[in-house]
Structure 1
């Protein structure tokens, strides 16, 4: 069970809905909130922002993101815990 894991983001990373982020938060703050709840260091947040190609937009509010940028943020969140398993449900369009 996912809930039974002491640090589930280290086990499974998932992107199920790219728009499941508070629109008033920046990409950085969204990832930091996830990181804090799983004892993930800020350096990993910086790394996944870079890996997803959204480091330059990290301080912008998510409500201004295009669908593609939202998907990149979702992928960054899925990779945040450096999980053994990653589940991506329709991570790209077109």
Structure 2
């Protein structure tokens, strides 16, 4: 049987079809507990990163890549996406 997918050595492995969740970290906030308790709707919580800083992609607690936030175009205009700039070597566990 022919496919248009590249042969990556995992043909026939059913686990390659299982979706996983990737968490995108855009930054961290470190408010004091008293500041956290005062948060209300429309409050602004400053993060430790700037808008144009790279974001980090995690599967569980494993950093797998870094990238830049971008906006999709066409029918998906307004939807956020990530353009990858660095990818970990996941095959060798590095």
Return the TM-score normalized by structure 1. 0.23
User: Which of structures 1 and 2 has the bigger CA Rg?
Assistant: 2
- Which is richer in strand? 2
Structure with the higher helix share, 1 or 2: 1
The higher relative CO (CA closer than 8 Å, separation ≥ 6) is in 1
